[in-house]
């Protein structure tokens, strides 16, 4: 008969049948939630977070089912939850500090008077905006502030410390998303606030979105929509792009077919 050492018992994930069963209970419940979220078909709209790749937008607008997740990634889910918590903490602090200069997105859009048709749904410190015409877009900006005499778009990003520590400018993969938010809202000035999820350290970078950038973004919207109508796939990301991989894109295999 084999006996476990005290040290091995201490380092185990459980130390009794009851603790093991309870751990299984919680993790099975968590896995169900993760899989339910992953199984949802994305809405047939543009998503600013996917603007780096025209193919993803094209698949979304056509209502193509993403490839199913075969492995539950609890670590990725936890990272997303931590990111959400960091966002909410920053938004709460800034909204209290800025008061009336923390701008409600719906109020801003009423003043901005965009030419597109839209609806707003407020969710705590964020407002989800859905544009229906002429281009279907769904997005939720992290915040709009009025500071130093002008409007600023606030974009909050969280990162692992190792990646955060090397930052000296906004990450290139975030620029397309930032330009998309700025374009839709008509705001040229952007503050990108990075926070590392381990120690809470902060870095902030200013980004200016030009009229040319905004025109280019609208051109992408219309170009992808035209490809949807023709059922012709637009160009994909360049070969070797780190974002074009099975781990980062759930349309990866379907994209190869086109």
pLDDT per residue rounded down to tens, the chain (258 residues)? 444 454 454 468 888 899 999 999 999 999 888 887 776 778 899 999 999 999 999 999 999 988 877 677 888 888 888 999 999 999 999 999 999 999 999 999 999 999 999 999 998 888 999 999 999 999 999 999 999 999 999 999 999 999 999 999 999 889 999 999 999 999 999 999 999 999 999 999 999 999 999 999 999 999 999 999 999 999 989 888 888 888 788 899 889 888
Q: Distance between CA atoms of 151 and 153, rounded to whole angstroms? A: 7
- Evaluate the omega torsion of the peptide bond into residue 204 and state whether it is cis, within 30 degrees of 0: no
The CATH number assigned to the domain with range 48-232+250-257 reads 3.90.320
Report which secondary-structure segment, H or E, holds 168: none
Among positive and negative, which fits the CA dihedral 93, 96, 100, 104? Answer: positive
Distances (CA, A) of 233 to 178, 191, 230, 253: 24, 34, 9, 14
Going from N- to C-terminal start, the domains of the chain cover 8-39, 48-232+250-257
Q: Distance between CA atoms of 48 and 43, rounded to whole angstroms? A: 13
Alpha helices in the chain (DSSP H): 6-11, 17-39, 54-61, 74-98, 105-112, 161-165, 172-185, 211-230, 252-257
Q: Distance between CA atoms of 255 and 55, rounded to whole angstroms? A: 7
Q: Distance between CA atoms of 31 and 73, rounded to whole angstroms? A: 8
Look-up: residue for tokens 């996917």? 50
């Amino acid at each position: 008969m084999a006996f476990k050492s005290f040290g091995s018992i201490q380092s185990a994930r459980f130390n009794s049948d009851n603790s093991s069963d309870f751990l299984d209970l919680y993790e099975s419940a968590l896995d169900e939630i993760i899989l339910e979220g992953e199984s949802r078909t994305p809405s047939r709209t543009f998503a600013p977070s996917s603007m780096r790749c025209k193919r993803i937008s094209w698949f979304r607008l056509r209502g193509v089912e993403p490839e199913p997740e075969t492995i539950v990634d609890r670590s990725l889910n936890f990272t997303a939850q931590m990111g959400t918590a960091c966002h909410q903490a920053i938004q709460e602090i800034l909204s209290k500090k800025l008061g009336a200069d923390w701008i409600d997105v719906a109020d801003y859009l009423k003043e901005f008077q965009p030419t597109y048709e839209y609806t707003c749904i407020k969710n705590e410190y964020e407002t989800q905006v859905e544009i229906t015409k002429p281009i279907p877009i769904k997005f939720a900006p992290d915040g709009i502030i009025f500071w130093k005499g002008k409007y600023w778009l606030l974009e909050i990003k969280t990162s692992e410390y190792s990646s955060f520590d090397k930052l000296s400018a906004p990450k290139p993969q975030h620029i397309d998303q930032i330009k998309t938010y700025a374009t839709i809202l008509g705001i040229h000035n952007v503050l990108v606030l990075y926070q590392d999820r381990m120690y809470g350290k902060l870095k902030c970078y200013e980004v200016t979105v030009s009229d040319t950038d905004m025109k280019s973004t609208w051109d992408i919207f219309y170009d992808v929509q035209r490809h949807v109508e023709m059922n012709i796939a637009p160009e994909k990301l360049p070969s070797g792009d780190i974002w074009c991989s099975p781990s980062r894109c759930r349309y990866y295999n379907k994209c190869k077919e086109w």
